[in-house]
Structure 1
Amino acid sequence: MYVYQRLVLLWTLDPCERDAYLANEATKRWTSSNQVLMEIACTRSPKDLLLAREAYHARFKRSLEEDVAYHTHGDFRKLLVPLVSSYRYGGDEVNLTLAKTEAKLLHEKISEKAYNDDDLIRILATRSKAQVNATVNQYKNQFGNDINKDLEADPKDEFLSILRGTIECLICPEKYFEKAIRLAINKQGTDEGALTRVVATRAEIDMKIIKDEYQKRNSVPLDRAIAKDTTGDYEKLLLALIGHEEA
């Protein structure tokens, strides 16, 4: 019953209130494997992130930046504070010369394993999503590898994991969320927290694209996978939110 009530709660909140609620939960329960703050910072529009920060301020009488800085530490704090504080340019214009220069810079830092470098974090935390996408494309053109492949040096390194997630969420959030749902369903016992969060936050944004990604990746419709792993009212609401015709 709890997971159904939680899904109802998240779904009925305004998006900015929902983000504030989830961000506050994430700060209070933060661990180095918790990527919720990064998801919110990197997949919302500049205006939506600003509204979430305002909602956080009004609801919890503190700033989101303040709580993130207090509850995180080390390299994670160095990345997450500027991510949640950012107000990126939201347009499509791209500076290709800058993209080539910053792709080279990123390659240098990653080759040196300087994953917490100030410039690397500055690029990911401040450039527009279109500019980051252009830089990532230039990285592959110049050096032959996807940047996230080069950030897989240590699969158990949780800071590298959140760096990869940052890039995915900035340039291709539907692939990031497809993976989040797939891992949630494929765990020994469904990770209902992750499944609930993704469906509640993406239902009105890009769920159709996520569904297509899921079917392409797994050769199984998402609604069938969810129906196999969930039951009752929780299952019905999940299916309704992902757009299942019969829900």
Structure 2
Amino acid sequence: MSTLTVPNQVPSMSEDCEQLRKAFAGWGTNEGLIISILAHRNAAQRKLIRQTYVETYGEDLLKALDKELSNDFERVVLLWTLDPAERDAFLANEATKRWTSSNQVLMEIACTRSSNQLLQARQAYHARYKKSLEEDAAHHTTRDFRKLLLPLVTSYRYEGDEVNMTLAKSEAKILHEKISKKAYNDEDLIRILATRSKAQINATLNHYKNEFGNDINKDLKTDPKDEYLALLRATVKCLIRPERYFEKVLRLAINRQGTDEGALTRVVTTRAEIDMKVIKEEYQKRNSVPLDRAIVKDTTGDYEKILLALIGNGDA
């Protein structure tokens, strides 16, 4: 489901590094050359390029890119070049720094990564920031937000497909009772969402709909202005239908007065190697416009070119 196009014959790492070095040399940077290399290498290859670059030239490739590039293009290249776990740590740290209650990045990372990916992101966070993701998340959030986010970022869910139907029925009932009483911050409600495997939550929420007639997110929409409820709905979506969640983030980022480049860059760089194909299908279905066309309409220059390359369009 990756949209990344990697050539059949990938040049050697030293060749890639030489070309990148060339892109930085002389007057002006050759952005096209940077895109033609980095946007067509997978995570393992990009990691090797970084290692080879520092061994060959004694400089971190990220530092070299930082010196040469600017604005949205720089951000997308830097995020893309980072190891996925480092990237998650960086995005999570950024989210804790400028926390607003509607900022869903922490929840997004906690709920759309596998248990191991989340663990690796937390380890990368230790290494980079000399503290833990959970202490920053706790420090920068309050009340119900903290109550929900902390168990989410510290979760290590079972990843198998096994489902306990008896449990699904009893927990669907618990969820329904709590939601009926508007006890949205109830410990059991949070425990179920934060600890159960995705397969188990899926079974529970299917039973919820069959038994009580409504999709759980419909019942959580009682107050559309409530930011905690919005976070709760997004949590449910991320756990069972991540492509719908990401489609909405993209739609809101693109179809507004002025593009939200931060959100657009984040979704493209974090999902290009995972499920961008499904997100693109969801986007087209929902907006009757292909994602690449929406990006072309809303962005320009090298930023537009690298986004198109990463989502698998364009000949960049």
- TM bucket, shorter chain: over 0.9
Aligned residue for 2:294? 225
2:107 corresponding residue in structure 1? 38
TM-score in terms of structure 2 length? 0.78
Partner of 2:197: 128
1:200 aligns with 2:269: yes
The answer to whether the 8 Å contact 2:85/2:121 transfers is yes
The code of the aligned residue for 1:56 comes to Y
1:161 aligns with 2:230: yes
Partners of 1:66 and 1:183 in 2: CA distance: 30
> 2:305, 2:314 within 8 Å by CA — same for their partners in 1?
no
- 5+ residue gaps, structure 2, are 1-69
Q: TM-score, normalised by structure 1?
A: 0.99
Residue identity opposite 2:97 in structure 1: K
**1:164 maps to amino acid:** R
- What does residue 135 of structure 2 align with? 66
Give runs of aligned pairs for residues 7-156 of structure 1, distance below 5 A: 7-156=76-225
Post-superposition offset of 1:246: 2.9
SS at match of 1:244: coil
Identity fraction in percent: 79
Query: Rg larger in 1 or in 2?
Result: 2
Distance (whole Å) between structure 2 residues aligned to residue 244 and residue 43 of structure 1 = 24
Aligned residues: 247
CA deviations on 1:135-188 (whole Å, 9 max, x unpaired) are 110100100100000000000100000000000000010010001001100110
Higher RCO by CA contacts (8 Å cutoff, separation 6 or greater): 2
Consecutive unaligned residues of structure 1, counting only runs of 5 or more, are none
Superposition RMSD on alpha carbons, in Å? 0.6
Which whole-Å CA distance do the structure 2 matches of 1:111 and 1:246 have between them? 52
The one-letter code of the counterpart of 1:28 is: K
Looking at structure 2, the residues matched to 187 and 220 of structure 1 have their Cα atoms a distance apart, in angstroms, of 15
